[in-house]
């Protein structure tokens, strides 16, 4: 039986593509409404058209900007008067070894993958508390659990996001807000498409090679990750908080 999100509202960052888009679609299919937050307004508008104006709200902005974060939450409050899920999904990845990491790349990794979720969480907590059952799901990464050469800035930021999730879970349990972190392995998303050289190559060389590194023999799909997010946002996981859950084809065990 599908998880019911009837009359529930989600605020999703990085909603225009990849995992954020998949979660937005699934949340609406389950009966919920979604606020689509992200940098690329055109992608958000395209998704909103697909979902319908009655089920969606487009909010362009940058999640690491505290003013944009507050504005997003207030837009949700004004439109629907509640928020049941904050999915901190937006993030960036630029590979580089420590000795070759420019100052701006380090700063961007922390801003996008850690400061942004913090700003959104801080802004959204008052509204989530009002429903005595709000949920925050942070999209971390298996690279937040183990170091990989050439990804130090990303690994550090995602490890910080894992700890932010745990700290927030402890602080907010008494307010009825559950907080969880998911750690995907390599998923077939635009952030990975083209790393083999051609962004339009549907048999991308990077994704093929990455799939072979996962014990299950393939990369994940956005819908597989969305299924986990829907479960964590549902009443079926009402006794789960502070958990760090891998959805990674077994790569964290390899």
Q: Can you give the pLDDT at residue 157? A: 99
Q: Can you give the pLDDT at residue 208? A: 84
Map out the domains of the chain as residue ranges.
Answer: 9-185+220-245
d(CA 178, CA 172): 7
Cα angle 68, 70, 72 (rounded to 5 degrees) comes to 70
Alpha helix (H) residue ranges in the chain: 18-29, 41-51, 66-80, 103-110, 116-130, 152-172, 205-213, 222-233
Q: Can you give the pLDDT at residue 130? A: 95
Residue 201, both tokens:
């190559």
Whether the predicted pLDDT of 190 surpasses 90? no
Q: CA–CA distance from 77 to each of 5, 6, 126, 128, 189 (Å)? A: 18, 17, 11, 10, 30
Enumerate residues 6+ apart whose C-beta is below 8 A from 210. 186, 192, 219
Each residue of 81-115: pLDDT tens digit?
A: 999 999 999 999 999 999 999 999 999 999 999 99
Each residue of 119-128: pLDDT tens digit?
A: 999 999 999 9
Whether the predicted pLDDT of 133 surpasses 90? no
Residues carrying an active site annotation = 154
Mean pLDDT for all residues in the chain: 94
Each residue of 78-90: pLDDT tens digit?
A: 999 999 999 999 9
Residue 224, both tokens:
């597989």
Each residue of 14-47: pLDDT tens digit?
A: 999 999 999 999 999 999 999 999 999 999 999 9
Each residue of 138-167: pLDDT tens digit?
A: 999 999 999 999 999 999 999 999 999 999
Say what percent of the chain tops pLDDT 90.
Answer: 85
Q: Collapsing DSSP states into helix, strand and coil, what is residue 138? A: strand
Q: Can you give the pLDDT at residue 85? A: 99
Protein fold of 9-185+220-245: Rossmann fold (3.40.50)
> 54-58 long-range contacts, Cβ below 8 Å, gap at least 24?
55/28, 56/24, 56/28, 57/33
């Amino acid at each position: 039986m599908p998880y019911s999100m009837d009359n529930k509202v989600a605020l999703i960052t990085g909603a225009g593509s990849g995992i954020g888009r998949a979660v937005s679609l699934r949340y609406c299919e389950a009966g919920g409404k979604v606020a689509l937050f992200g940098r690329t307004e055109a992608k958000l508008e395209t998704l909103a058209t697909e979902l319908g104006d009655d089920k969606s709200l487009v909010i362009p902005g940058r999640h690491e900007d505290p003013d944009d974060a507050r504005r997003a939450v207030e837009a949700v409050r004004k439109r629907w008067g509640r928020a049941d899920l904050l999915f901190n999904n937006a993030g960036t990845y630029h590979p580089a070894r420590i000795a070759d990491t420019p100052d701006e790349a380090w700063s961007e990794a922390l801003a996008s993958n850690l400061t942004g979720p913090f700003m959104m969480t801080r802004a959204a907590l008052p509204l989530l508390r009002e429903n005595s059952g709000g949920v925050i799901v942070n999209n971390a990464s298996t690279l937040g659990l183990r170091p990989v050469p050439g990804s130090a800035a990303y690994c550090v930021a995602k490890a910080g996001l894992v700890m932010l999730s745990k700290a927030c879970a402890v602080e907010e349990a008494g307010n009825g807000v559950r907080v969880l972190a998911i750690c995907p392995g390599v998923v077939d998303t635009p952030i990975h498409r083209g790393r083999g050289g051609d962004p339009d190559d549907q048999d991308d060389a990077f994704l093929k090679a990455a799939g072979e590194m996962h014990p299950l023999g393939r990369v994940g799909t956005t819908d597989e990750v969305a299924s986990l997010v829907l479960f964590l946002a549902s009443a079926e996981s009402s006794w789960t908080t502070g958990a760090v859950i891998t959805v990674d084809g077994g790569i964290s065990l390899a």
